[in-house]
Structures are given as C-alpha cells and as structure tokens.
Amino acid sequence: MPFERRYIQYKHLVDAYLQRFVKDAQPPSLYQPVRYILSGGGKRVRSVLVLLACEACGGSKRDALHAGAAMELLHNFTLVHDDIMDHATARRGRTTIHKKWDENTAILVGDELLALAYRALLKTQSPRIHDVSRVFTEGVVEVCEGQAYDKEFETKPNVRVDDYLLMIQKKTGKLVSVSAELGALIGKGTKQQVAALRRFGEHVGRAFQIQDDLLDITADEKEFGKTIGSDVQGGKRTFLYLEALRNARGSDKRLLLSFARNGGVPRKNIKDFQRIYLETGAIDAARTRIAHDLAEAKHELRHLRRSPARDMLHWFTYMLLHRTH
C-alpha cells in the first residue's frame, strides 16, 4: 500500500477511536466542546508515530492504539490551553474553544482532555505499563515547562537561538519523542530500540517545530489553515526571528528590535519580515537545520530491523519536510 494511503488509514483508526471515546459522555457543557476539538481534524502525527514505532519494534498497531489516542488527547490539551494564553481566535481553520464558548470552559476542557489522555493510555495492556505511564508523564511535565519558557521569552530581552532550541525541545519536541518511545515500549522493543526511537522523535520534533515557524511565514494561507505571519504579528520570537536578528543590519535590524519591544508589528509589516528573513539567510538556516535533524532522525532507524513500518518511518520524515500545513 502506498505510504500516503496507509497514513490516512492509521489516522482514521485514531479518529474513530477518539470519536467513540467521548461519544455519550456527560455533561454536555464539558463534552460538547471536547467533541468539537477532537472532530476538528489535525494530522494526528503523534498518534500515527506511536503506531508505527510499535510496529517497527515488532508489535501490533492495535496494542498501541490507546497510547496513540492518548498522545492526541494530550496534544489537544496543550492546544486548548495555549490558545487561551495566546489569545488565538482560530485553530485548524475553526474558532478556538475560548472564543466559541468562554475561557472558563476552555480551561476545564483542557483539563478534561488531559484526564482523558490518561484514561486512554491506561487502557494499554502491557507488562511495561509503569514505564509507559512514567514516560508519558515526563512528557506532560516538560510540555508545561516548555510553555513556561515560551511565555518567559515574550518579555525577556535577550533570547538566543540556543534558548529557543531548548524551549521547543520541551514544548514541541518532547511529545514527538514520547510518542515514538511509547510505541517502542508497547511494541516490546529492546532497550537500544527504545532509546533510538526516542532520539528519532527528538529530531523529528525539532524539525517539525522549525518547519512550523517556516510555514507561518512562507505557507499558502488557505492550505495552512492559519493566518500567515501570526508569529510576526504576535511578537513571537521564532527560530527565523532569532537567526535574522544575528545577521540583520541598519533599518532591518531596527525593525526587528522594534518588534521585540512592541510585542509584534502591524499586518502591513509582514512582507518586510518575509524579505528580511530571506535576505539574512534565516530561511536558509531553518531549512538546513530541518534537513540536518531529519537526516539524524533517519540515521537512528538503523537500530530497527527492516520492515514496512521502518520504511514508513523513513517516509514520515520526508513527508514532514515537504508538508504545506
């Protein structure tokens, strides 16, 4: 089966699981928005990665489905709470929970998504359930810490590229590496395989986030499902921004600095940022970094035996590099 079709099949498995999981739950004030967010699409990248990592170690994807769904629930928990904190109005082309309902609802829905994530995870039947739960929990702790760093950066005067990389490793990378590690644990991978898949996830996670930064400034708005340049308007110091700041001179540098001072720039300046990011080599640096991380990720796959699942993990990194949304 071609990789794309198989990916969609795995994604459907997860979607169907999630739908079933919250179908008749009460009360409506809580579960209506929960169902809304879970039916809002999303690529289910983390879930599919759990299933593939499990298969690549010799396990069955069915065994990993609970954990796969758990990762998606956990991911949605972070989205709902981050959207409140960022005052975001749209997500995946739809109104965010705190806008469609209110902030109190969004706080509670996020909490519930995290609780449901554990409920799904703990349906896993595995002699390694203690490790599975611990790895998952360290993911939750780090994602909160990453979000705290991200918020600190908004008002911190000097953020360096390295600070940024630490932050995204916690905020974004960790959940990708947890996904791969959980799959490996459930698939009864060897110690070496579990570690290799964790590192695979770290690289993929970082590449994924830098790609996100890149798409925010280079993507096609309709395809992307989010407003282009929202990072620039919102004053978010991304990999691109920090790279550009290192190399920009004169009026370009002043514009970059004013952005940090004012917490963003007006919509009309987005094209200036697009130009500056190109001219300073920030876009090239991002592309190089992504390619490097994905190469490292692929290299980790040597610890796995050849299998259709391993081939698909290979393809997975390729797909991430070429995604448009």
- In the complex, the residues that contact a copy of itself under the rule CB under 8 A are 26-27, 29-30, 77, 81, 84-85, 103-105, 107-108, 110-112, 114-116, 118-119, 122, 129-130, 133-134, 137-138, 140-141, 144-145, 147-149, 151-152
Nearest approach in angstroms of CB 97 to a copy of itself is 13
Contacts of 253 (CB under 8 A, 6+ apart): 245
Residue among 2 and 27 whose Cβ is closer to a copy of itself: 27
Contacts of 99 (CB under 8 A, 6+ apart): 89
Phi, psi for 281 (deg, rounded to 5): 80, 10
In the structure encoding, which two tokens stand for residue 125, read together?
A: 């039947």
Residue among 139 and 201 whose Cβ is closer to a copy of itself: 139
Residue among 103 and 279 whose Cβ is closer to a copy of itself: 103
Residue among 29 and 190 whose Cβ is closer to a copy of itself: 29
Nearest approach in angstroms of CB 130 to a copy of itself is 5
Length of the chain: 325
Nearest approach in angstroms of CB 266 to a copy of itself is 24
Residue among 133 and 247 whose Cβ is closer to a copy of itself: 133
Give the rounded distance of the alpha carbon of 209 from its chain centre. Answer: 7
Nearest approach in angstroms of CB 313 to a copy of itself is 28
Residue among 26 and 324 whose Cβ is closer to a copy of itself: 26
Nearest approach in angstroms of CB 221 to a copy of itself is 27
Nearest approach in angstroms of CB 29 to a copy of itself is 5
Helical residues (DSSP H) of the chain, grouped into ranges = 3-21, 28-38, 45-56, 61-86, 97-100, 103-121, 129-155, 161-168, 174-186, 191-218, 221-224, 230-233, 239-247, 250-262, 270-279, 282-300, 308-322
DSSP-derived secondary structure letter, 2: -
The torsion angle over the Cα atoms of residues 91, 94, 97 and 100, rounded to 10 degrees, is 140
